[in-house]
Amino acid sequence: MLRDRADLHLHSNYSDGVQSPTEIIRSAEKIGLAGIALTDHDTLDGLSEFMTATTSNSLKRVPGVEISTETDGREAHVLGYHVPEKPVMLLKELHNLARARQRRIPKMVNKLQELGYDISHAEVQNALRNASSPGRPHVARLLVKKGLVDSVEEAFGKLLGAGKPAYVRKERMDTKRAILLLRTEGAVPVLAHPLTIPNANLRELFIELLGIGLEGVEIEYDYGHLDVKRKKKDVRDAMEGLDLIVTGGSDSHGEPSHGHIGDVTVPVSVIDELHEAARRIRKSG
């Protein structure tokens, strides 16, 4: 049963998911989840709908974000939980990242056209019409819709993944800066899916970021759709003895390529741990 479980990593159509925040809530209610967090890429635009949509009193909702960052030249994502309303400095920085994402998409389309793929800028812009912070999945879904590839996974593996012919690098914030920025706004910084950080010494990284103000690490995560060599046990071993909250979630985008809401969960009590961390951060700030 999921009535005592929470999925703390979800994306809506305000970034690169396919469901609206309200639809995500309905999906969570349908399967009986006790708590969810909306963590769109580099935007907070979906949080108002997420936090105000009508729902049962039993569903706990956490306003969040997932920030694109890098540490020592390696991509690393930072989740922020219990993001307050109107965090002025964070909104400014996220606006810059979202604009960079918007500039990135046409460059990918240009590369696809050069490779001979029948895809137009107008078609892509139509696919992006609801997205504040667009990403490669939008382009991948359009390629599938047009019958140019068989699946989103094929689009990434053949064209859009890092090092592939239509890949365009995105702009990222420094990881330490993202952690400090979230704390300044009273939000709780958590390192997302750490096994995706290439060649990272996880123990050293966790200790370094803990010193900056990291509050947690996402351990519960399904890496099945990714090419990673290490196991979740490696993350747990690297965290041993460190005062970090264990979080997790499905990373659902509302489509099979990233799994479904509720596929990966943590005890709903983790929401209380994150809330207590937010209270402590705001009191000390």
The reported pLDDT for the residue numbered 132 is 86
Are residues 176 and 85 part of one domain? yes
The CB-based long-range contact list for 176-181 (8 Å cut-off, 24+ gap) reads 176/71, 176/209, 176/212, 177/69, 178/67, 178/69, 178/78, 178/80, 179/78, 179/209, 179/212, 179/213, 179/214, 180/212, 180/213, 181/89, 181/90, 181/93
Among candidate residues 136, 160, 184, the one where a domain is terminated: 160
The reported pLDDT for the residue numbered 183 is 98
- Please compute, for residue 147, the number of CA atoms within 13 A of its CA located in the half-sphere on the CB side: 0
Are residues 32 and 139 part of one domain? no
Q: Is residue 130 part of a domain?
A: yes
The reported pLDDT for the residue numbered 1 is 60
Domain harbouring 268, CATH code: 3.20.20.140
The reported pLDDT for the residue numbered 259 is 82
Q: Is residue 165 part of a domain?
A: no
Q: Is residue 46 part of a domain?
A: yes
Q: Distance between CA atoms of 200 and 209, rounded to whole angstroms?
A: 13
Domain of residue 145: give its range. 101-160
Q: Which residues pair with 249 in a beta bridge?
A: none
Are residues 54 and 19 part of one domain? yes
Indicate the DSSP class of residue 87.
-
The reported pTM is: 0.91
Are residues 254 and 203 part of one domain? yes
Are residues 84 and 138 part of one domain? no
Q: Is residue 166 part of a domain?
A: no
What's the angle, vertex CA 253, arms to CA 248 and CA 259, rounded to 5?
65
Are residues 14 and 122 part of one domain? no
Are residues 279 and 176 part of one domain? yes
Instruction: Give per-residue pLDDT as tens, 193-206.
Output: 999 998 889 999 99
Are residues 119 and 84 part of one domain? no
Could you identify the residue written with the tokens 């635009």? 45
Nearest to 46 by CA among 31, 30, 27, 65: 65
Are residues 247 and 128 part of one domain? no
Are residues 240 and 195 part of one domain? yes
Q: Give me the residues of the chain with pLDDT under 70, please.
A: 1, 285
Q: Distance between CA atoms of 132 and 56, rounded to whole angstroms?
A: 28
The reported pLDDT for the residue numbered 129 is 82
Q: What are the tokens at 94?
A: 């996220």
Nearest to 118 by CA among 93, 143, 153, 92: 143
Are residues 81 and 197 part of one domain? yes
Total domains in the chain come to 2
Q: What are the tokens at 137?
A: 């999945």
The reported pLDDT for the residue numbered 285 is 66
Are residues 277 and 194 part of one domain? yes
Question: In the chain, what is the greatest distance between 2 CA atoms, to the nearest angstrom?
Answer: 57
Domain harbouring 138, CATH code: 1.10.150
Among candidate residues 160, 184, 207, the one where a domain is terminated: 160
Instruction: Give per-residue pLDDT as tens, 51-63.
Output: 999 987 789 999 9
Buried b (16+ CB within 10 A) or exposed e, 71-102: beeebbbbbbbbbeeebeebeebbeebbeebe
